[in-house]
Structure 1
Amino acid sequence: MKILDRYILTSFLKTFFSVFIILMFIFVLQTIWLYIGELAGKDLDTEVILKFLLYFSPKLVPLVLPLTILLTSIMTFGSFAENYEFAAMKSSGISLGRAMRSLTVFIVFISLVAFFFANNVIPAAEFKSINLRKNIAQLKPAMAITEGTFNDIGTFNIKVDEKSGENDQYLTDVIIHQKKKTGGNNTVIKAKEGELVGSTDSDVLSLILKEGNYYDEVEPSDYQKRKRKPFTKSYFDEYVINIDLSDFNNVDLEDETYSSAHGMLKISELDESIDSFSVSYNDRMAAFRKNMYNRTGISNLNNNYKPKDTVINEDSELLSYFDTYDAAQISNLALGTVNSALAHLGMKKQEFKVNIKQINKFEIALHEKYALAIACIVLFFVGAPLGAIIRKGGMGLPIVVAILLFLTYHFIGIFAKNSAEDGSIPAFIATWLSTWIMLPLGIYLTYRATTDQGLFVFDNFIAPVKKLFKKAGLFKDKSKTE
């Protein structure tokens, strides 16, 4: 390696590692802030907390690495231009492209490492992180209760609208379904308020409910009476439920039974999952089409059709050829069939929407692994020439420019991926859209920098205006008049 290449590479690496460590530290602090509710108040060891942060840190690399490359490129090449080092290189016959050669090789190497990291390290860390989070949530039942959804705790399914108090022990609008050993939940309890009371020395947690109702579905031995769905109802001012916490207190933080998230899979596993989901989706769609066709009764039309001599006038209603009772029966039957088909169609629509969203998430996760590697190269060719053009190094203007560019890149990617999840745009386009937008910008900036042109040539905008004034006789060329 020549002295110049070694000098440029060394300057870049010093800034690169410094910026990467600083940005990673900032994003880790943000992670602690986001997940403080899952970690605080559970008597977790420092080792468990550090393990949680270690497992979560690899997920930050797709954010930190592109921003680091962009910022480092602008700062390094801006510093070279500001200190007239590029001017010295150009006077010696060394172009910007030649100066970027060693760094280009390094960035390609970084992109390959990023691809390997995204395909192997991030899925493994995601697997560890999600399982650890699920195990931590079980250490404190109050934390395991999420507002607005049913939560499975022991033999109860509990839903609350709001939690309050220092330890989230006060509950509002509580709904409880008590599970039976034989399956099902015939008992429903509703209360306006609730309070969780317990101690660390006890395996029993008391849930005190206030101002509520107790509903219990009765199952008569007579099957005809079961159709009436009888139940008993009672009102209470205060009702105490004891929940066995023996399973919660024996949580194994090393348990790794959950493995179905798309972020946990490698490229080969994602391909296999996408194929499996797509085949299953197509089979369900085919079965649904066949079912809806059978619901119309067209397939049985030839079996029930009997030709008659009656000639039906096209201008008259079909029901007018039947008596009132038969016409009413036909109308009610047809209306019931249509309403049933519409209800079934609406239910299946939501089901297929969830299936499509699941497939799209797996496709996005697949393309993201490739997009990260290419984004590293593209953002380098955006930052390096931009730094040479603005001729400003240090921590001032380069940080502002880099953050603005990266936020544009990042938010375009987020909005596109959110749209791709519900099928608004293809997952392939959504994942690569931000990189495709940055690619022409990188080509443009590289061309401007290698040809010693500024960011914008204002003469290109002023020249047509000057010509217009010259034709109108309102502007005279001073060089000719002199």
Structure 2
Amino acid sequence: MKQLDKLMAKSFVGPFIVTFAIALFVLLMQILWLYLDDIAGKGLSFFLIMELLAYKCVGLVPLALPLALLISSVMVLGNLAEHYELSSFKSAGVSLLRVIRMLIIFGAISAGVSYLCSDYIIPAANLQFGARMYDIQQKKPTLNMEPGVFNEDFNQFTIRLGDRGDDGRRIEDVLIYDHTKANVGELSQITAEDGEMYTSDGGDFFIMRLFNGHQYVEQRPSGREGRSTPFMRTSFDAYTKVFDLSEFKLEKHATSLFSTNRSMLSTWQLREGVDSIDTDIAVRKQGLSNHLLAYLPQLPRDTNTYRIQGTSGNEFISTDSLLAEAEPSPLDSIEKLEAAYRPLHAAPRPEERAQTPDSVRQRFILERQRELETRRAARMAEAAHHPLVEGASPWPGIRSLLDSVPREDHSRIYNRARSSIRSVTAQAQSTLRLLPGIQESRVKHIYDMHMKYSMAVVCIIFIFIGAPMGAIVRKGGFGYPILVSIIFFVIFIILTIFCRKLAESFVVSGVFAGWLPCLILFPISLWITFSAMNDAKLVDTDRAKEALRRARDSKRVEALRRRMAKS
């Protein structure tokens, strides 16, 4: 490594680490506000909160890396240009690309880290974060018994304390409403002058020991016409009520319940998800097509088999029209297909048995296709020359069919036709309602898959934006570099959100939407780099100033001519 590369590496590593930590902290605080209401008041331990923050920090790495590269590259090159070190390099014949070569290497390494993190680490971290956050959202807030406030934390119980001692144990003027038997019409109320409350040693139960109180129980009216209204009142010197605290504990659910979310899938899983969605769309269309056969048997049956037993649900396997002359329902496997058509063909030859099962099966299917097509063509030719077909007169239409049946059956035929039309229309409308949601899920899968690549490539693009911008602005520190970096980063975020909305609205494809921010920023980076290499200004205002000066001079000359003409 040469001295220039060592200098750039030492100058870049420090600001990069600092800016990466700042960017990660800012992004984490922005995300934390969304979950603050779910976390507050749940009595979570410090280590659990740190675990959640660690999972979320891993998920923010691909977003924090480009921002850190952008800010640090502007700072390093701005600092070199401000102290005229960059000018010294250029005067010695060192080009700008040679100066930032080490930064480009850092950008390429960051791109690889970003992709590996997005594809391998983030899905697992998001899975753990989603599972833990769901557990926290289902957990009840910490039990809090405040005097003068009706507490409904316990299921089917309402508790009010008149006063509470300083030790947190002694209580007075206790009122408890018990609704555990409200479904059978029994209501219970407990009052006590004083008592004490505490938890068991393991914290599994909450115990209220009451003294000098009464219990009132009112039941559903009974007897003839509901005139009898049983009512019981019981007095007690001491009464112990035990509440289960298991509902206030954090219950952990299996992470497999959340493993199908897009943010928890890697690229190959997203690709399989897209194939599965394509299969689902094809199966729904096939179901709609075959639904018409119940009313129009003359239509050909769609015999494509998309999911065969023993294969993955994402695999497309088409048997075309192999089952056209078989049973109305499609077979479930190639083995059943061979068994159905075995009488139509001789047994396999010995040399066929020596071949692989897949090759034999494929050739068997092709032979069955050719045989079926030959039989179908022969039948069509035979039917075309039938005397009934050659001597048939033009069909008079549906009215002639109705005239061939008794008139009292016309209304029944019309009603059955309307019922059939309504059934077909309802099936079609149901499919049309479901397909947009399925297609939107497909677009989101494709967009998320290509965003993993796009977020990695943008790390290199930001190097070619940040380094030339630092050479142009010629300012180091955290002032101008952060201002310039935030502008380009906000542009990238806006483009990302805008492209996502375009993809979800089916305006553009998910692939194009995922790469569009990079396609827009890449020419900008080339233009900024070219301007910095030629020591040109990013916005040349000299020409505009010259044009304004000429316009003012022309106005003055014109005014002088008018004065001379008047004189």
| TM-score, reference length from structure 1 | 0.68
Q: Is the 8 A contact 2:24 2:60 kept in 1?
A: yes
Match of 1:297 in 2: 296
Question: CA 1:467–1:433 in structure 2 vs 1: closer, same or farther (change >3 Å)?
Answer: same
Residue 413 of structure 1 corresponds to 496
Could you say if the C-alpha distance between residues 317 and 465 of structure 1 is closer, same or farther in structure 2, counting changes exceeding 3 Å?
A: farther
Following TM superposition, by how much is the alpha carbon of 1:347 offset from its aligned partner in structure 2, in angstroms? 2.0
Cα distance change, pair 202–418 in 1 and its aligned pair in 2 (3 A): farther
Cα offsets for 1:363-420 (capped at 9, x unmatched): 2222122112101001111111112112222222322221121111111111212332
Q: How does 1:73-84 map to 2 (within 5 A)?
A: 73-84=73-84
1:349-376 C-alpha deviation (Å, 9 max, x unpaired): 2322222222222222221221121010
CA separation of 1:309/1:345 partners in 2, compared to 1, >3 Å: closer, same or farther?
Answer: closer
Instruction: Provide the rounded CA distance (Å) in 2 between the counterparts of 1:60 and 1:312.
Output: 69
Structure 1, unmatched stretches of 5+, are: 143-164, 170-188, 190-198, 205-243, 302-306, 476-482
TM-fit CA distance, 1:121: 1.2
CA displacement, residues 428-448 of structure 1 (integer Å, 9 cap, x when unaligned): 111111111100000111111
* Partner secondary structure for residue 540 of structure 2: coil
Q: Which amino acid letter does the alignment assign opposite residue 463 of structure 2?
A: F
Q: Aligned equivalents of 2:290 and 2:85: distance in 1?
A: 73
Q: Is the 8 A contact 1:295 1:341 kept in 2?
A: no
Aligned to 2:157: none
Is the 8 Å Cα contact of residues 138 and 248 (structure 1) preserved in structure 2?
A: no
Give distance in 1, aligned partners of 2:472 and 2:68.
19
> Any idea what SS the aligned residue of 2:23 has?
helix
CA 1:66–1:310 in 2, change beyond 3 Å: closer, same or farther? closer
Q: Secondary structure at the match of 2:60?
A: helix
Residue 299 of structure 1 aligns to a residue in which SS? coil
**SS of residue matched to 2:71:** helix
| Other structure's SS at 1:24 match | helix
Partner of 2:62: 62
* Cα distance change of structure 1 residues 435 and 310 upon mapping to structure 2, 3 Å threshold: closer
How far the C-alpha of 1:103 sits from its partner, in A, is 1.2
**Distance (whole Å) between structure 2 residues aligned to residue 360 and residue 311 of structure 1:** 50
Alpha-carbon distance between aligned partners in 2 of 1:317 and 1:465, rounded to the nearest angstrom: 88
- Distance across 2 between alignment mates of 1:13 and 1:90: 23
Q: Is 1:452 paired with 2:451?
A: no
The answer as to whether partners of 1:71 and 1:383 remain within 8 angstroms in 2 is: yes
Q: Indicate conservation of the 8 Å contact 1:77/1:388, yes or no.
A: yes
Partner of 1:479: none
1:336-351 → structure 2 map (5 Å cutoff): 336-351=419-434
Q: CA 1:287–1:89 in structure 2 vs 1: closer, same or farther (change >3 Å)? A: same
Is the alpha carbon distance of 1:168 and 1:271 closer, same or farther for their aligned partners in structure 2, counting shifts above 3 Å? farther
Over residues 306-355 of structure 1, what are the superposed CA-to-partner deviations in whole Å (9 max), with x where a residue is unaligned? x9999569xx9999999987665555444444443333323222322222
1:65–1:376 contact (8 Å) kept in structure 2: yes
1:356 and 1:422 in contact (8 A); partners too: no
Q: Map 1:341-380; keep pairs closer than 5 Å.
A: 341-380=424-463
Indicate whether 1:98 and 2:181 are aligned.
no
Between the aligned partners of 1:127 and 1:373, the Cα distance in structure 2 is 21
Q: CA 1:347/1:464 → structure 2, altered by over 3 Å: closer, same or farther?
A: farther
1:36 aligns with 2:36: yes
Letter of the 2:263 counterpart: G
What is the distance in 2 between the residues matched to 1:65 and 1:310? 74
Instruction: Confirm or deny: 8 A CA contact 1:56 1:125 kept in the other structure.
Output: yes
User: Residue 440 of structure 1 aligns to which amino acid in structure 2?
Assistant: P
| Contact 1:353-1:422 within 8 A present in 2 as well | no
Q: How does 1:233-312 map to 2 (within 5 A)?
A: 248=247, 251-253=250-252, 255-258=254-257, 259-291=259-291, 293-294=292-293, 297=296, 299=298, 311=396
Q: Report whether the alignment pairs 1:401 with 2:490.
A: no
- Contact 2:16–2:69 at 8 Å: present in 1 too? yes
The alpha-carbon distance between structure 1 residues 111 and 312, as it changes in their structure 2 partners (threshold 3 A), is: closer
SS at match of 2:256: coil
Question: Structure 1 residues 458, 297: closer, same or farther in 2, change over 3 A?
Answer: same
The secondary structure found in structure 2 opposite 1:395 is coil
Q: Secondary structure at the match of 1:16?
A: helix
Matched, 1:381 2:464: yes
Q: Match for residue 370 of structure 2?
A: none
Q: Distance in 1 between matches of 2:437 and 2:100?
A: 47
Distance 2:393 2:244 in 1: 74
Distance in 1, Cα, partners of 2:281 & 2:206: 45
Partner of 2:130: 130
Please list the CA deviations of residues 173-210 of structure 1 after superposition, one character each: whole Å capped at 9, or x if unmatched: xxxxxxxxxxxxxxxx9xxxxxxxxx997699xxxxxx
Q: Gapped runs of 5+ residues in structure 2?
A: 143-148, 154-182, 184-198, 208-242, 301-391, 559-567
Partner of 2:511: 428
Q: Which residue does the alignment assign to 1:392?
A: 475
Q: Which residue of 1 aligns with 2:27?
A: 27
Alignment length (residue pairs): 380
Shift of the 309–131 alpha-carbon distance from structure 1 to 2, 3 Å rule, reads: closer
Which has the larger Rg? Answer: 2
2:109 maps to which residue? 109
Deviates more, 1:50-59 or 1:26-35: 26-35
Q: Distance in 1 between matches of 2:464 and 2:479?
A: 20
Deviates more, 1:423-432 or 1:440-449: 423-432
Matches within 5 A, 1:58-207: 58-140=58-140
Q: How far does residue 19 in structure 1 lie from its aligned partner after superposition?
A: 0.9
The change in CA–CA distance for 1:458 and 1:5 in structure 2 (over 3 A counts) is same
Cα offset for 1:468? 11
Give the 3 Å change call, closer, same or farther, for CA 350–310 of structure 1 in structure 2. closer
Corresponding residue number in structure 2 for 1:443: 526
Q: 1:322 to 1:267 in 2, by over 3 A?
A: same
445-454 vs 354-363, greater mean Cα deviation: 354-363
- Higher mean C-alpha displacement, 62-71 vs 427-436: 62-71
SS at the partner of 1:35?
helix
| Cα distance in structure 2, aligned partners of 1:167 and 1:448 | 69
Give, in whole Å, the separation in 2 of the partners of 1:282 and 1:118.
Answer: 31
- Describe the superposition over 1:112-169 as per-residue Cα deviations: whole angstroms up to 9, x where unpaired: 1111111111111011111111222232289xxxxxxxxxxxxxxxxxxxxxx99997
Note if contact 2:288-2:427 (Cα within 8 Å) is conserved in structure 1: no
Distance 1:391 1:324, change over 3 A: farther
In 1, Cα distance between the equivalents of 2:519 and 2:433? 33
SS at match of 1:257: helix
* SS of aligned partner of 2:260: coil
What amino acid maps onto 2:500 in structure 1? K
